[in-house]
């Protein structure tokens, strides 16, 4: 039950972070938002290290570094897919792929969730697909954009898998490694591409909020993984688009389509099934 609570809280915080990140990208360049938010997250994790101590080891740091590279690659590919495709295709493709890979990895590693929990996993994957749909958006999208979206999802899924492979007693050290590598990669890409890292006027606070929330979600993920199975924790975390949608509805007044509301309902049912298993 503890793992379910932590993973669900992680999804809520991830979704809120994405909401703030989305607001930030309306005013500032993508590279500026990503780089500065990641730096804010790095500052937070360094501040939390004394409060949630763990055993430092080269293995913990290396798994974190690898996870950070996978996550940063996934983010860059995700934005690339959005630039060449349409959100109604790219978002669900990326989200479902990032959820499926950790589930398959967990099952292949010998995890055997209760059949009721597996039913919840299937329902959760369906809910991610539904809440990411936007019937009002343009249809279609090139095969290339779909392939890039799949690669982006693999990057995000790899982030969760690689973090889970870090030693259980490592505490927050894997996240330190992950953030160091992701910040370095994003800044280098920005320099090579000649993109500015300066945020728009008044945009820094929103960017920092997105970065702090994203790192808080990462911490909750590690805590959840320490308490439960990767195949269940990862799929609960993947429900984050539901909270982003609900925030957009409440704060921005965006309209939710029936298919998306159905997805939110399925997400709640999935959490309930996994919790009672």
Tens digit of each residue's pLDDT, the chain (277 residues): 788 999 999 999 988 988 888 888 778 888 888 889 999 999 999 999 988 878 999 999 999 999 999 998 888 888 777 666 666 567 777 888 888 899 889 989 998 888 888 888 888 888 877 877 766 665 555 677 778 888 988 999 999 999 999 998 899 999 999 999 999 998 898 888 888 888 888 889 999 999 999 999 999 999 999 898 998 898 888 888 888 778 878 887 877 788 888 888 888 888 888 877 6
* Contact by Cβ (8 Å): 84, 144: yes
What does the pLDDT read at residue 92?
Answer: 73
Give exposure, 162-174, as e/b (b: 16+ Cβ within 10 Å): bbbbbeeebbbbb
The pTM assigned to this predicted structure is: 0.86
Cα separation values, 277 from 100, 101, 232, Å:
20, 22, 11
Dist. CA 12–CA 224, nearest whole Å: 13
Q: From 219, 263, 19, 147, select the one nearest 155 (Cα to Cα).
A: 147
Q: With beta carbons less than 8 A apart as the criterion, state whether 158 and 70 touch.
A: yes
DSSP of 100-116, one letter per residue?
HHHHHHHHHTT----HH
**Predicted local distance difference test score (pLDDT) of residue 124:** 86
Owner of token pair 């591409």: 193
User: Cβ distance 232 to 6 under 8 Å?
Assistant: no
- Write phi, then psi, for 201 (nearest 5 degrees): -60, 130
User: What pLDDT does 140 receive?
Assistant: 54
pLDDT recorded at residue 143: 72
Given this model, what pLDDT does residue 277 score? 63
């Amino acid at each position: 039950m503890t793992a379910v609570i932590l993973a669900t809280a992680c999804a809520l915080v991830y979704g809120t972070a994405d909401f703030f990140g989305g607001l930030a990208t309306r005013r500032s360049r993508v590279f500026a938002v990503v780089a500065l938010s990641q730096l804010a997250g790095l500052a937070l994790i360094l501040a939390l290290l004394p409060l949630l101590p763990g055993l430092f080891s080269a293995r913990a740091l290396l798994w974190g570094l690898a996870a950070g590279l996978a996550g940063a690659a996934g983010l860059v590919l995700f934005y690339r897919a959005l630039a060449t495709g349409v959100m109604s295709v790219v978002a669900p493709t990326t989200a479902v792929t990032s959820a499926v890979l950790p589930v398959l990895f967990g099952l292949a590693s010998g995890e055997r969730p209760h059949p009721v929990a597996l039913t919840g996993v299937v329902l959760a994957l369906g809910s991610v697909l539904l809440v990411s749909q936007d019937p009002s958006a343009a249809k279609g999208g090139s095969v290339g954009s779909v392939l890039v979206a799949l690669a982006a999802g693999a990057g995000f899924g790899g982030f969760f898998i690689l973090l889970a492979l870090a030693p259980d007693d490592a505490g927050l050290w894997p996240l330190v490694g992950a953030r160091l590598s992701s910040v370095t990669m994003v800044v280098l890409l920005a320099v090579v591409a000649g993109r500015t890292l300066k945020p728009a006027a008044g945009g820094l606070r929103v960017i920092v909020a997105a970065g702090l929330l994203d790192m808080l979600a990462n911490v909750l993920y590690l805590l959840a993984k320490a308490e439960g199975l990767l195949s269940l924790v990862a799929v609960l975390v993947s429900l984050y688009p539901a909270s982003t949608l609900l925030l957009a509805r409440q704060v921005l007044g965006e309209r939710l389509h029936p298919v998306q509301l159905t997805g939110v309902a399925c997400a709640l049912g999935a959490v309930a099934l996994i919790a009672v298993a």
